[in-house]
Structure 1
């Protein structure tokens, strides 16, 4: 959940606050949890809502690449990977909120389309469309790295 909040908000402190608020809200709402979805999906939904609430109050800040630093260190040329990760961070920051959220939940959190749809209160068809648009935008922005 922290990684998801971090990538949505582009700020470690805000992400920590959102995740903490999400856990508090979940704890308080646990009697209302009906079990229609998995607990994981429910928690991600709460986290996403808390992130949206914070985004409404604050202006987004630039992204840093903490979520991908381990990937940069594993390759044969860390400088190249670090540059790619910086470019990916910048490209993700330029995506609209819904495309970025869908991409992060699918590619980073490995959620199914149905789980993402439940988390973001939309349909799997919308999720697939937003993911396709997000991937196309990322492909275009990262074409120099191919």
Structure 2
């Protein structure tokens, strides 16, 4: 009963603040404040606040939360142990990682990320122009050709 009263009072106060904000010609902010103010009232009307209040003061509910926490701790512990064991000792894993060459995640990835060996054959370059004005744009043209534009 107290939780419902507090939520209703918060909703009324929020609507009052929204009215003052709207009076100051800040309608967007007033609408947002009114929306936030109506949330506690809606929770009271749906009965969620009563359910939460009953849950908060119930020893059975707190024991249930403790059991859920214990289950989570067990899951986390078993996962940590699995990671620790892995596929052998730490030295064996490091040796296996060093001996294996790095594999590309996506074989068709862009050429710069794979290095020179995986790049496709380059297109023949256009003949350089001798005019002074086009020299300014030669770098730009090269970049555009490189990206196929």
TM-score under structure 2 length normalisation = 0.20
Which of the pair has the greater relative contact order for Cα pairs under 8 Å at 6+ separation? Answer: 1
Which has the larger share of helix? 1
TM-score under structure 1 length normalisation = 0.21
